[in-house]
Amino acid sequence: METEKTRMVWLDYLRAFVTLLVVAHHAALAYPTFAYFNPAHYISSTAPIVDEQRWAGMDTLIGFNDIFFMPLMFFISGLFVYRGLTKKGVKSYLKDRLLRLGLPFLVAEVVLIPLAYLPTYYVATHDTSLSGFLNDYIFTQEWPVGPPWFIWLLLAFDVVAALIFSEWPTFFTRVGQWLTHLSEQPLRLGAVLYVVVALSFIPLSLWVGQYTWIGNWGPFDFQLNRVIFYLLFFLLGGCLGATFWQNYFFHNNRLFGIGWPFWLGVSLVCYVLIRLVAEFGAEQVKQGNWTETIGYLFFDLAFIASCLTSICACLSVFRQTIFKPNLIWQTLSANAYGIYVVHYCFVTWLQFALLRLDVVVSLKFTFVFIGALGLSYLSSRLLRQNISVAKIL
């Protein structure tokens, strides 16, 4: 049977792993072949720092990460919602979330993210004036949100979950029980999840466009075409977290009784399928056989399959391989939130420091990733020595 201990160990380690992917993702964004930099409005660039040296390998890392790591992060966060609401009550739960999410978001947006964009302003203008930077940052760039978009959106989703719990207390348990019942027929469950996830993602993406962010919201920007998509994974986690879902989804620690190599292999095949569909669709659009809408539709259908199988692979690997506490994962897990909050400053400054260095991209990426991760980890450990800060981070 599922226990609190087994639940916490592998899920916390998985959350730490996703945090590592976040740092790697941002470290890679300076080097893909599709990167571009707009000095006049650098917030519209692909990343705060864009290096002249590029490598297609970074395209693959960024593309693969982008498919699943944020839906997985919202899903894991959602798993703890129902028990938090039932244990603390709605008011205490929201007060706790406001403290744990709202305060770090405020500090990040007022201090850390502006620091992260200082080298970007210098690259764009060669100006070292602090007043010039702040004026440009707030009024021209409209206060970039950076990675903390996840924190404020998670807080908003917590409010949604609390409202649902207040108005319909049995929502999470009923949906969760229905999903666990469906798990007895994995193919049927997979079909249902695929359709629901596709409906949360494809219509809005076709309507507003791919990778579309809300503009003019300053530090409260978010990716418009994915907001329902992310909310669905959060609520899915909330519903499963209201049940002993692991007992139904895992048999002998294997997802639906199937070992992790299968899930990993399927996820890689689905990612290759995405690349093939993208190339084929682009060629069909170029030849006039398809409209852009049809091309994006087939891409999105492959995207959903890759997203779900990649999440299954991550769940399967960590559930099947983590049986007892591991010192390295335990330390990373304890500092994962702190790493997420502070890492962007270290990423952009290290990328900036390496701009003029003529070495292969893989070495630059490795240096930025390891350097940013190490400095973020040390910063988190230092901050968490304060008892009050440790309760938040």
- The count of C-alpha atoms lying within 13 angstroms of the C-alpha of 212, restricted to the half-sphere facing its C-beta, is 12
- The count of C-alpha atoms lying within 13 angstroms of the C-alpha of 297, restricted to the half-sphere facing its C-beta, is 9
What residues contact residue 378 under an 8 Å CB cut-off, 6+ apart?
none
Locus of tokens 């739960």: 93
Instruction: Give the chain's radius of gyration (CA, Å).
Output: 21
**How many whole angstroms separate alpha carbon 313 and alpha carbon 310?**
5
Characterize the bridge pairing of strands 250-251 and 254-255. antiparallel
What digits encode the pLDDT tens for the residues 222-244?
A: 899 999 999 999 999 999 999 99
Return the pLDDT at 4.
44
- List per-residue pLDDT tens for the chain, 393 residues long: 454 444 578 999 999 999 999 999 999 999 999 999 999 899 999 999 999 999 999 999 999 999 999 999 999 999 999 999 999 999 999 999 999 999 999 999 999 999 999 999 999 999 999 999 999 999 999 999 999 999 999 999 999 999 999 999 999 999 999 999 999 999 999 999 999 999 999 999 999 988 888 877 889 998 999 999 999 999 999 999 999 999 999 999 999 999 999 999 999 999 999 999 999 998 998 898 898 899 999 999 999 999 999 999 999 999 998 867 788 999 999 999 999 999 999 999 999 999 999 999 999 999 999 999 999 999 999 999 999 999 998
Domain regions of the chain by residue span: 4-253+323-392
Return the pLDDT at 323.
67
The average confidence (pLDDT) of the chain is: 94
Question: Nearest-CA neighbor of 109 among 146, 73, 138?
Answer: 146
CB distance 246 to 316 below 8 Å: no
Return the pLDDT at 6.
46
What residues does 258 pair with on adjacent strands?
255
164 C-beta neighbours (distance < 10 Å), count: 16
What digits encode the pLDDT tens for the residues 330-377?
A: 999 999 999 999 999 999 999 999 999 999 999 999 999 999 999 999
What digits encode the pLDDT tens for the residues 77-101?
A: 999 999 999 999 999 999 999 999 9
Return the pLDDT at 322.
80
Q: What pTM was computed for the model?
A: 0.95
Return the pLDDT at 360.
95
What's the first-to-final CA gap in the chain, in angstroms? 31
Question: Nearest-CA neighbor of 337 among 299, 276, 389, 284?
Answer: 389
